[in-house]
Amino acid sequence: MIMKVSIKNIGILGITLVALNACQNDKKQQTNDTLSVVETKVDTLNANAEPETKPEPDFPKSGNKIEDLIPQYFDTDMEASGDLNHDGLEDKVLVLVNTRDTTALRPTLVVLKVGNAYRVDAKSYAIIEPKYRKDGYLNYDYEEVKIDKNGQLIFSQQSTGPNGSLESVFKYLNNELVLTNISSFAMGAGGQTELKLDLLKGVFEQTDINTMKEDMPSKTTTQKYRLPKTLFSNSDPRAIMIKAFNDNGK
């Protein structure tokens, strides 16, 4: 993705959600490429990331058990349960990890309960970044996926390094799982920046906090910013927020 992110913006944001140089997280695995501004190409307004050139594993479309939906050489890294489509049945969301390459992109499956079986309703490689970097350290210190009582699907990632934090929210509207909100937070030299994007209302909000002053004054700006409907299967929350900041950021 070739984005116009100025040196000033990077210094303030450290984000904008992009790992320019991941700091040495002390949680190292036995041996990922971070999805960065330079390495990820955006080709549409939805900020879709180009798929990897590696062949995609054979994902079953339905099964009698959740285990039937997980391809060979994949394990469940994170999961959540709840009623996503408000039909009274417990659905599942699975974030999978490639057991042979934990630096590879992690597929995320949205699985709806249909009677006594399960059906994969949506799949994405761009919602959650790879678990580990190529140097063997975690991309994020904390990650969570959950389905709240209102049927919202929420992904949260937090890091003390340049990745900062990122949260994305999805909801079924008219039988389609769409991206509704993104928020991010990052600390840079002399400041902190919080960004919020409400895709349904078409509003972009930026709050800058000056940590160089004792009273830490903050300034918030809000702008109208509308994007086309963004479905779960073809959305990249980090890339979308980067674009929103480049289009509207101060």
Domain count for the chain: 1
Contact 77, 97 (CB under 8 A): yes
Report the helix count and the strand count for the chain, using DSSP H and E.
2, 12
84-106 tens-digit pLDDT: 999 999 999 999 999 999 999 99
Give a yes or no: residue 48 inside a domain: yes
Q: Which two tokens stand for residue 88?
A: 């009274």
SS3 content of the chain, % helix, strand, coil (to 5): 10, 40, 50
Cα–Cα dist 97/131, whole Å: 8
Does residue 139 have a pLDDT over 80? yes
Give a yes or no: residue 62 inside a domain: yes
Contact 178, 237 (CB under 8 A): no
Q: What percent of the chain has pLDDT over 70?
A: 78
Give a yes or no: residue 61 inside a domain: yes
Give a yes or no: residue 32 inside a domain: yes
Q: What percent of the chain has pLDDT over 90?
A: 66
Give a yes or no: residue 1 inside a domain: no
Give a yes or no: residue 127 inside a domain: yes
Confidence (pLDDT) at 132:
93
Q: Which two tokens stand for residue 105?
A: 């992109």
Task: Quote the domain boundaries for residue 37.
Answer: 7-248
152-180 tens-digit pLDDT: 999 999 998 778 999 999 999 999 999 99
Confidence (pLDDT) at 249:
79
Cα–Cα dist 71/129, whole Å: 19
Give a yes or no: residue 2 inside a domain: no
Q: Which two tokens stand for residue 84?
A: 């996503």
Q: What is the mean pLDDT of the chain?
A: 82
Confidence of residue 27 (pLDDT cuts 50, 70, 90): low
Buried-exposed string 54-71: b where 16+ CB fall within 10 A, e elsewhere? eeeeeeeeeeeebeebbe
Confidence of residue 223 (pLDDT cuts 50, 70, 90): very high
Give a yes or no: residue 219 inside a domain: yes
Confidence (pLDDT) at 213:
83
Position with higher pLDDT, 179 vs 32? 179
